[in-house]
Amino acid sequence: MKKSHDSKFKGEDEMDDIGRLIRHTGGRDAVPDDRFDDARENVQSHWQQVVAEQRRGRFHYRLIAVAASVVLAVIASALLLRPGDVPGPVVMASVDRILGDVVIDGQTAAAGNIIEPGAVIETGDESRVALRLADGQSLRLDTLSRIVVHTANEVTLENGGIYIDTELSLDASPVLVMTALGQARDVGTQFQVRLAANVLMVGVRDGLVEVTRPDRDTLSIDRGRVIELNTDGSESERDLQHDDTIWTWVETVAPDFDVNGATLEQYLSWYAGQKGLRLVWSDPGSEQKAKLIMLTGNLTGTTLQEGFQTVQRIAPFEHRFEDDTLWVSMP
């Protein structure tokens, strides 16, 4: 028995890497005759064309060999794809954070779930959800809301409130929010769209949003403005402060920030963005110090305020809020 055992492993040692891989994985299913015949005919036809061209002096022998080998490689790849092989799901977004019970296509959702085209997402009277779109933008859904995700950049809001933050991914495509009363498209911004009864509300925290309605001119809504559009054609507009109550729910479901490996400057920039604030340093030296301070810990599940206080204990800094600005200085 020992001799047989030694012989077995000796033969394996003499194999190259590909040989050992084939030996352990076993052979693939046999290629059906009709697929093999089709592949052989395609290769033969292409080879005849290449040879004919060569005889007319258009190609060198080296080029002919390369062309033939490329065709053979493509055909071989096609043959190795088994009939049962199918591509994976198309991911439009993924669940970033959940508060309460959220339903996606009739199933209770969990953090990490992927969102495919056509997915219907619903929140209850005590639940909210934050999604991470495929391009990196943040999409948040308020209580008693329902959306349909068509693509990574197009959703339909059927009722409730939705918040979009595209500033997290400046190179991403604009996000289009469609409703029964009109549609809103961002131009690099943070904005909220709410549909209730016969009123469409669009509020802009930063950037610019364009709102289009059937048979009406396009409206451009700038930073710090909110507009309400009624089905009877009437509309109203007012100023919108960075801490207006319409943003309160947005902050409750803000995505968690991973502080491990991040600098204090990165965290404070993120925090200011979540609050709709501008981050201003008291002096260049404070900013440079903050860029050198590395953070550790875990802020998962904390509110924005709780996380802010935790980071301040880890890396002390002085700050004050003034209008729409967060001033920071380092001791």
Tokens representing residue 155 in the block = 């959703």
Let me know if residue 88 belongs to a domain: no
Q: Are residues 260 and 124 in the same domain?
A: no
- 292, 243 Cβ separation under 8 angstroms: no
Tens-place pLDDT, residues 205-234: 999 999 998 878 899 999 999 999 998 888
User: In this structure, is residue 85 part of a structural domain?
Assistant: no
Q: What is the dihedral of CA 224, 230, 235, 240, to 10 degrees?
A: -20
DSSP state of 297: S
Q: pLDDT digit string (tens) for 171-208?
A: 678 899 999 999 999 887 899 999 988 899 999 999 99
Same-domain pairing of 229 and 99? yes
> What pLDDT does residue 82 have?
54
Same domain, 123 and 14: no
- Are 208 and 138 within one domain? yes
Residues 36 and 122 occupy one common structural domain: no
Structural domains of the chain, count = 3
Q: Same structural domain for residues 200 and 279?
A: no
Cα–Cα distance list, 92 to 147, 231, 259 (Å): 13, 31, 26
Using a 10 angstrom Cβ sphere, with 0-12 exposed, 13-18 middle and 19 or more buried, the burial of residue 213 is middle
- For residue 188, is it within any domain? yes
Q: Which of 23, 53, 80 is the last residue of a domain?
A: 80
Domain that holds residue 283: 256-329
- pLDDT of 7 reads 41
Mapped onto helix, strand or coil, the DSSP state of residue 73 is: helix
Length of the chain: 331
Given this model, what pLDDT does residue 60 score? 41
**Residue ranges for the chain with pLDDT beneath 70:** 1-88, 168-171
pLDDT of residue 84: 55
Are 129 and 235 in the same domain?
yes
Please tell me the distance from the alpha carbon of residue 252 to that of residue 220, in angstroms, as a whole number.
28
